[in-house]
Structures are given as C-alpha cells and as structure tokens.
A and B are shown apart, each in its own frame.
Chain A
C-alpha cells in the first residue's frame, strides 16, 4: 500500500446500525465527490456513483451482515487520493464469499426482487474485494479518478 500523501482526503464515520442513516451516508458521499473537482467524464455521475455504492454497501451491512441489530455499529472509511477513490465498509457479521454471489437475472420472466446490490457496486467501481479477519470484515471498493 502506498504512503498517504498531503492531498489525500480521508473520512471515517461510525453510525448506528439503522437504515434511517442511509440518506446521511449517501449524501456525505455525494457531497465529497461533487465538491472535489474530480472528473471521470462527468462529476455528477461520480457523485451519484459514490452515493449509490455507499448506500448499497451500508444497506447490506445493516440488514444482512449486522442482522438489523440496532446495538451494532456500521463503520465506513472513504479515502480520496489524487488518482483513486477507496471506500471501505466494515461489518460485524459472519462474512460471505464474494465469488459465490451470482449475477441477477435480467429476463423479464425470471426477475427476482433481490440480488442487485453487489451487481450495482461491481458495475460502478473498478474493483471490489471482501476481506474477512478477526477484527471484523471489510468490503473494499476502488475506482480510478481523474482530477480536473
């Protein structure tokens, strides 16, 4: 891992494990991306993407990994370097295997209510990994950036 640089921006937040905080989490991501002069073709698009991946990842943790337990916490780290956006979302659950999550069905006759969250995250980010360790699990999402 490369050293942190002076221009890096890092934000860490810890919130109660409740879906009512999703709006705040999404908004923070949106504001961060739109206020930094980053352009991946379209600044608004990047703000929407960050808001989306944060909402999806946080929602997965709150409802599934942390089993909607209001006593648990959700921890998120957002780091923006001159050339990369890194989002880490931590959970206190038993973990899962990223490779075993199937793609959603796209045929109208076979649509399912669930299973689009990780597909959306993978589509909007350049790389996604899930690391399980003793201190907890973390979903790491990365995207290359171009500053204007």
Chain B
C-alpha cells in the first residue's frame, strides 16, 4: 500500500496514495491506522484525496480506527472524500459518525483551534 505519513505536534496525517481501498489493501490500511494510535498519535487524519473507490472492507478499516481512537480518547478525522467514496459514506450513514473535512490541512487547523479553546 502506498502512503505518506506526516507527524505534526497536534496529529498524524496519513495520506493514502492509492486509487482504491478494497479487500486487497484494507487489512494493511487497518494495521497502519491502528499502529499510528499504538505509537501514541492521539489524533489521526486520513487524507483520501487520491482515493476514488472504497468498498465495505475499506470502510471497515476506517471504523476500526474510529473505535480505536474513541477508546484512547483520541480522534480520527477523514479528509477530501469525493465522488464514489462520499456516496459510500452516505449510503452506509458513516458520514454521521466521522468528522469529515474538505482537506487534511483544514482538519489539522481544527485540532489547533480545539487546543486553543481549551
């Protein structure tokens, strides 16, 4: 699976460089996501700008990360979902559960804003 990870003091951005997130790479993605939390990342942002197709196993991997974040009192934010990916979030109602942002940078900004409010 192709990806880039950027660590900021407020959170970790995982930029997926894959066109598809399906049963062929979702298990690897799930491990990557959960490893970020295990390594101590409180907040993880998944940048899905390059992803144009997601299936139920890809959504399942994100749910795994979402639950892991909740257990650790952290957050999992999803950024730049479009087209078929957005349709799948809406069809499975996951858009109600996840914090979705237009871009990873905007998701990161909210983490800074949340910190300042406290």
- Tell me the A residues contacting B by CB distance below 8 Å: 19-20, 22-23, 26, 48, 51-52, 55-56, 59, 62-63, 104, 106, 108, 111-114, 116-117, 119-120, 123-124
Contact = CB atoms under 8 A, between A and B. Distances in A.
B71 interface: no
B32 interface: no
B23 A59 contact: yes
What are the 4 tightest A-B residue pairs by CB atom distance, in nearest-first order? A108-B97, A116-B56, A19-B24, A113-B60
Given A104-B92, A106-B93, A56 B55 contact: yes
B22 A59 contact: yes
Nearest to B22: A22
Interface stretch (B7-15, B35-43, B61-69, B107-115): B61-69
Interface residues of B, number: 25
A111 B97 contact: yes
Question: Main SS of chain B's interface residues?
Answer: helix
A55 B22 contact: yes
Contact of A19 (B23, B64, B83): B23
Nearest to A121: B56
Given A22-B24, A48-B84, A52-B55, A114 B96 contact: no
